Amino acid sequence: MEKDEVVMIPYVAHESSMNRMERANKRLWIVILVMFIAFMIYLLLPTEVITKDNTQDVQDIENSDVNQTIGE
């Protein structure tokens, strides 16, 4: 192909490729938006669950036996 030679692309081929690219870009933006929202929800969730009676006592009794009492 020479330097000044012009390549002709049929109008139908160009339009169909542009339509496919536009649909792919829309899908990409939707995926990015959903991932961003999911990440924001993940950051807002609590990291620890705290209940009213969440106490735990561990006591060492004779010969390193461990007794655990959870709550009261």
3-state SS, 46-69, equals CCCCCCCCCCEEEEEECCCEEEEE
Instruction: For residue 61, tell me if it sits in a domain.
Output: yes
Q: Under a CB-based contact definition with an 8 Å cutoff, are residues 32 and 47 in contact?
A: no
User: Which of 1-10, 16-25, 60-69 has the weakest average pLDDT?
Assistant: 60-69
Cα gap 19→17, rounded to integer Å: 5
For the chain, how many structural domains are there in total? 1
Residue showing tokens 């081929």: 13
In a domain, 5, yes or no: no
> Residue 60's domain spans which residues?
11-70
Residue 61 is predicted with a pLDDT of 46
Higher pLDDT, 59 or 4: 4
Alpha-carbon gap, residue 70 to 17, rounded angstroms: 65
Dump pLDDT digits (tens) for 9-56. Answer: 888 988 999 999 999 999 999 999 999 999 999 999 877 666 666 555
Element (DSSP H or E) covering residue 4: none
The answer to whether residue 2 is domain-embedded is no
